[in-house]
Amino acid sequence: MSSRETIVNGAVRVRFAPSPTGALHLGGARTALFNWLFAKHFDGTFVLRIEDTDQERSTQEAVETILKGLSWLGIYWEEGPRDGGPFEPYFQTQRLHIYKKYAEQLIKEGKAYYCYCTTDELKKEREKAAKNKAAPKYNKKCRFLNAEDAKELHVSRRNKVLRFKMPEEGKTIFNDLCRGEVKFENELLDDFIIMKSDGFPTYNFAAVVDDHLMEISHVIRGDDHLSNTPRQIQIYQAFGWNPPHFGHIPMILGKDKARLSKRHGAQSVTEYAKEGFLPEAMVNFLARLGWGHKDQEIFSRKELIELFTLDKVTNSPAVFDSDKLTWLNSHYIKESLPERIFDLALPYLEKAYPKLKLDDKDAAGIAYLKKVITVLQERLRLITDIVPASEYFFKDITSYDEKAAAKHFKGEETTKILEDLKRSLSELKTFDKPSIEDVFKGLAEKLKVKLGGVIHPARLALTGRAVTPGMYDVIEVLGKEKVIERLEKAIKFMG
């Protein structure tokens, strides 16, 4: 069944609900992207909700980092933090009174009960289950307390929690938009906690209340949440609410098929931004983690919105490939306007070369830098590559690549090539690429050597390297004065 066939009344409302306990990592970013693309595809609404009920680990700094990461990716929300909306507040810690109200309703209707079991009692139950090689499951002791015992415990024990009464038989069945029909045996699911002793809700309870009140039509999330779905559906049914459509996307694995982590090279979204990745490369990369359209690899944002549906999401885990991400980034760098790369590269260059502090009045400096970036742009994998790639444009040559020097800096013939090249270039009245190319070709013909016999020693002399962008482009950007100076230095080095 296609996602389009599951739309109810044509109104699509999705949400991304991160916990602010750390930075926005690739898994969360992909979930946000899939929700955003789904909303845009159906002209729906993308809601951002902050699930900050973990008071020990949630921080405002993490909230800001998540918002910054989403903004960098170009994932903007119609409702949520900063912008508000008709169902605010969008922070769960500001909605505690709402959860309390609905929890009291379940108690009143006999669909939830207080559990007075101590930590030690629950620990012993888990140890007993482990010993019997059984899945840990609450024994429902407090579910069947008589009124007198329950009243006594309610007074004597402060650390009580609220548990939901799960059906003891039957099945919870739902149609997953990515996986098809999914069934859970109710007897295998325990009476889970919905309100903790500190008055804060658990994830399953708060998510259901919020999703219902915020009129969320589709819940799209990682398949690690699949086991939460039957519990949430039972809460919906207890309130008499219609549950949303659920779609569980596959987890992301490393190349070793283990769950993605830092050891696979995965970082937070903001770290990727600092390293010189472009947002469109990251969006393209994330979109292809578990979703695809034929054999197409490159997608514009517009294409993604037009093509994205959940029926194209695979069930098998997606594999993180850092080489693919870097390849995509190099593609988008090549496709970008030089002016954009200039703006992105400038902070890195100014940090690497303190003397390069440019202002709007330094027309010559800006023009030179733009030429450097234009020459190097085709070869950049990351924006940060501009620093090592451009070094010979901003620093004097202090050494030569040893392997290349052993091959290209030897014999009187090479010395003569560089001397003749210096003389011919110094005589040029117009120091541009066509004129420089004519000099090289003319010199190779005159000295009866292959063109590479002139280019290779010249490249080494002018950059200290064996590999660079096109030599004629490099020479034009360096300028006559610097080129002559470096050729003289190389000739002395050889002599």
Q: At what angle do helices 363-376 and 471-478 cross, to 10 degrees?
A: 170
Can you tell me which residue has the tokens 């008499």?
240
Element housing 457 (H / E) = helix 451-463
What is the b/e burial string over 247-278, where b = at least 16 CB atoms within 10 angstroms of the residue's CB? bbbbbbbbeeeeebeeebebbbbbebbeebbb
- Nearest one of 406, 400, 399, 409 to 491, comparing CA atoms: 409
Alpha-carbon torsion 235, 239, 244, 245, what sign? positive
Measured from the Cβ of residue 143, the count of other Cβ atoms closer than 10 Å reads 16
**Known catalytic membership, residue 446:** no
**CA–CA separation, 271 vs 448, rounded Å?**
53
What is 309-358 written as a DSSP string?
-GGGB-SSPEE--HHHHHHHHHHHHHHS-HHHHHHHHHHHHHHH-GGG--
CA distances from 390 to 144, 367, 379, 463, 466 (A): 74, 15, 11, 10, 14
Cross-strand pairs, 174: 182
**CA–CA separation, 401 vs 418, rounded Å?**
17
- Nearest one of 357, 71, 68, 106 to 241, comparing CA atoms: 106
Q: At what angle do helices 451-463 and 433-447 cross, to 10 degrees?
A: 120
Q: Which residues contact 273 (CB under 8 A, 6 or more apart)?
A: 69, 72, 279
Cross-strand pairs, 476: none
**CA–CA separation, 228 vs 423, rounded Å?**
77
**260, 27 in Cβ contact below 8 A?**
yes
For the CA atoms of 342, 343, 345, 346, what is the dihedral angle to 10 degrees? 100
In the chain, the N- to C-terminal Cα span, in Å, equals: 77
Query: What letter would DSSP give residue 166?
Result: -
Identify the active-site residue in 108, 133, 262, 361. 262
Backbone angles phi, psi at 182, to 5 degrees: -125, 135
- Nearest one of 123, 193, 119, 122 to 158, comparing CA atoms: 119
Residues marked as catalytic: 262
